[in-house]
């Protein structure tokens, strides 16, 4: 069975999740529950990709190369700081075995080491903030987050 992720924000959503679990017939199974770890939002994901395209249009790399850079320089440190499981796996499997160029290559297809897709809204907000500060500090013009319905640079619109 593939991994299934559900975000539960209300009692009604909890009931739906319980009904869903009752319908599963393949045993054994493992269920993991994480408190307060809402996955990144679609708005954040679209903004991230818009910024990668902005960088490609103004810089000397492709959007995928900027994506690899951002995942390695901003995303990996955030996840290592906030997730002991991620830190242990990354430090055991990736950090000591690959040089910088190889690590960049691992961040995109065909390997595409999971970074942003496993981030929470809070973690993605922090990463977007770091990307904004880094690249606008270098003179790049990035799309205004408000164009994506995101207020105060990166927080979700109320």
Structure tokens at 107: 């961040």
Domain ranges of the chain: 42-156
| Angstrom distance (rounded) from CA 41 to CA 20 | 23
pLDDT tens-digit profile of 105-153? 999 999 999 999 889 888 999 999 999 999 999 999 999 888 877 765 5
pLDDT tens-digit profile of 70-103? 999 999 999 999 999 999 999 999 999 999 999 9
Place of tokens 């593939």: 2
Structure tokens at 127: 């990463």
- Beta partners for residue 155, in sequence order: 151
Mean pLDDT of 32-47: 75
The SS3 call for residue 109 is: coil
Going from the C-alpha of 139 to that of each of 53, 54, 83, the distances in angstroms are 15, 12, 32
- The reported pLDDT for the residue numbered 3 is 66
CB crowding 38-69: b at 16 or more within 10 Å, else e = ebbbebbbebbebbbebbbeeeeeebebbbbb
pTM to 2 decimal places = 0.74
Q: Which of 157, 138, 150, 152 is nearest to 48 (CA)?
A: 150
Structure tokens at 154: 């990166």
């Amino acid at each position: 069975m593939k991994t299934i992720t559900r975000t539960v924000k209300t009692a009604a959503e909890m009931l739906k999740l319980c009904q869903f679990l009752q319908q599963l017939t393949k045993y054994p199974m493992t269920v993991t529950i994480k408190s307060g770890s809402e996955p990144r939002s679609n708005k954040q994901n679209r903004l991230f990709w818009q910024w990668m395209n902005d960088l490609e249009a103004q810089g000397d790399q492709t959007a995928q190369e900027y994506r690899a850079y951002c995942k390695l320089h901003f995303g990996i440190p955030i996840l290592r700081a906030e997730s002991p499981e991620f830190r242990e796996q990354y430090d055991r499997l990736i950090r000591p075995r690959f040089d910088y160029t190889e690590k960049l290559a691992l961040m995109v297809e065909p390997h595409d080491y999971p970074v942003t897709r496993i981030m929470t809204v809070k973690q993605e907000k922090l990463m977007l903030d770091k990307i904004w500060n880094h690249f606008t500090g270098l003179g790049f013009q990035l799309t205004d987050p408000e164009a994506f319905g995101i207020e105060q640079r990166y927080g979700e619109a109320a």
